[in-house]
Amino acid sequence: PRQPAKTLWYDRPRYVYLEFCVEDSTDVKVVIEDQRLVFSCKNADGVEFYNEINLYARVMSKDSREKRSDRSITCFVRKWKEKVAWPRITKENIKPAWLSVDFDNWRDWEGEEEVERAMVEQYAEV
């Protein structure tokens, strides 16, 4: 049986970031459409994880990417409209139990764009 991965998200001027918390993931698949993200993978024990998120607003699927680490898979999803804050990640105003805000990374945008650019570039080089 599939189960949803615990997911953290936070908002930035140009991207929204989603972190799917699965350790030692394999078979990672991330499909990003205009307004939907589908994530799936397995963990070391062969448990299947599956998350489907109808996104709050339109995104640029071509300009989005993901990065896998031993602890999680982080997706950065490029917003269609930059500098428009997302009050939530889901289209529906309901918060699934597996989804939470990543408060460690959630902060005001003042002067954030340079920081964000550096962060994305650093990820892109990995």
The per-residue pLDDT string of the chain (126 residues; one tens digit each, 9 = 90 and over) reads 899 999 999 999 999 999 999 999 999 999 999 999 999 999 999 999 999 999 999 999 999 999 999 999 999 999 999 999 999 999 999 999 999 999 888 876 777 777 777 777 776 665
What pLDDT was estimated at residue 76?
94
Class of the CATH-defined domain 7-125: mainly beta
pLDDT at 126: 52
Whole-model pTM?
A: 0.88
Residues 6+ apart with CB under 8 A from 59: 16, 32, 34, 35, 77, 78, 79, 80
Domains of the chain by residue range? 7-125
